[in-house]
Chain A
Amino acid sequence: MNIKWFKYSSPQTFYPLAGKMIPWFAWLAVVLAIAGLYVSFAIAPTDFQQGEAYRIIFVHVPAAWMSMFIYIVMAVWAAIGLGLNARLSAMMAQALAPTGAIFTLLALVTGSLWGKPMWGAWWVWDARLTSELILLFLYLGFMALQSSIDDPRRADRAGALLALVGVVNVPIIYFSVKWWNTLHQGSTINMGVAPKMAMTMLLGMLLMALAFWMYSIAAALMRVRCIMLERERSADWVKELSAGGKS
């Protein structure tokens, strides 16, 4: 068990493995997104108070979930990289950040597009919206910090520290609607309680969330392959790979 794990934790074995995994996750994402969009627009009924505007939920909530989930995964990889001094883990954290930042931006913008017609405001400084904006800054800060330090090992360590400090923000985002009064509504999906939403609506949201999840894995694997090539250009395995002419 241990031997296998360490085998795949080296870039030269992980690079081709990631290459094989990407199409699977990409196709899963496409199929799930088609199913999710079909349920979201053709099957899910009109909402009793928000009419058709509520359909923004089918991108907004999955994007917001992914923005928080990717941050946690990124912080875990960063912690493993910091603790084990493992360069592949640090590369995984680095590969996840831009995708997480995109989902954070999407959560903020789609939320704004939902807030204007329903609440009457594009933006308010309540705890939920503000903490999600801080999440975007954490992603951007992580990316800026990583790229501003030339020595990759030092960049990994600095980035890992920022990622770990920022992880406290994730529970704050999640529980903000419980801890403080906000304009943002509470959670529709809660542990141990029946979801406060019609089944077909829930199905659409979950399918879209799964599609985003699979997409995130595919995108992160694509990016980690780029990072491996860029960072280990002078390593023997990259030279062999390039000389062999295989991608």
Chain B
Amino acid sequence: MQWASWSAFFNMGGYAFYVWFSFGLTALCVVWEVLALRKRSQQALRLSKLLAQD
């Protein structure tokens, strides 16, 4: 392990803002894309079901 304590880990040697912003933004983008794709496919399925009923 590289870290003496959890606070040292979160502090990232004084670069906490830059490091956690980078990883946080990446996670956010991934989560957003997955949710957006889920919504899009549900919508597409619903619409094609409606069309199939006609």
Contact = CB atoms under 8 A, between A and B. Distances in A.
B52 A239 contact: yes
Given A46-B2, A239-B51, A242-B51, A98 B19 contact: no
B27 to A, nearest CB: 9
Interface in B34-54: 34, 37-38, 40-41, 44-45, 47-49, 51-53
Contact of B41 (A98, A99, A109, A225): A225
A167 B30 CA distance: 25
Nearest to B36: A98
Interface string A201-241: 00000000000000100010011011001100110001111
Interface of A: 41-46, 51-53, 55-56, 59-60, 63, 98-99, 102, 105-106, 109-110, 113-114, 116-117, 215, 219, 222-223, 225-226, 229-230, 233-234, 238-243, 247
A52 B16 CA distance: 9
Interface of B is mostly: helix
16 contacts: A52-B13, A52-B15, A52-B19, A102-B29, A106-B26, A117-B15, A223-B37, A223-B40, A225-B41, A226-B44, A229-B45, A230-B44, A238-B51, A239-B48, A239-B52, A242-B52
A238 B21 contact: no
Given A55-B12, A238-B48, A243-B53, 18 more contacts: A46-B13, A51-B15, A53-B13, A53-B15, A59-B26, A63-B26, A102-B33, A110-B22, A116-B18, A117-B18, A215-B30, A219-B34, A222-B38, A223-B40, A226-B40, A238-B52, A239-B48, A247-B45
Nearest to A223: B37
A52 B12 contact: yes
Given A45-B2, A55-B12, A109 B25 contact: yes
Contacts, number: 96
Contacts of A56: 18-19, 22
Contacts of B15: 51-53, 117
Contacts of B26: 59, 63, 106, 110
B48 A229 contact: yes
Contacts of B47: 229, 233
Contacts of B30: 215
A43 B1 CA distance: 6
Contacts of B18: 53, 56, 113-114, 116-117
Contacts of A223: 37, 40
Contacts of B44: 226, 229-230
A56 B17 CA distance: 11
Nearest to A52: B13
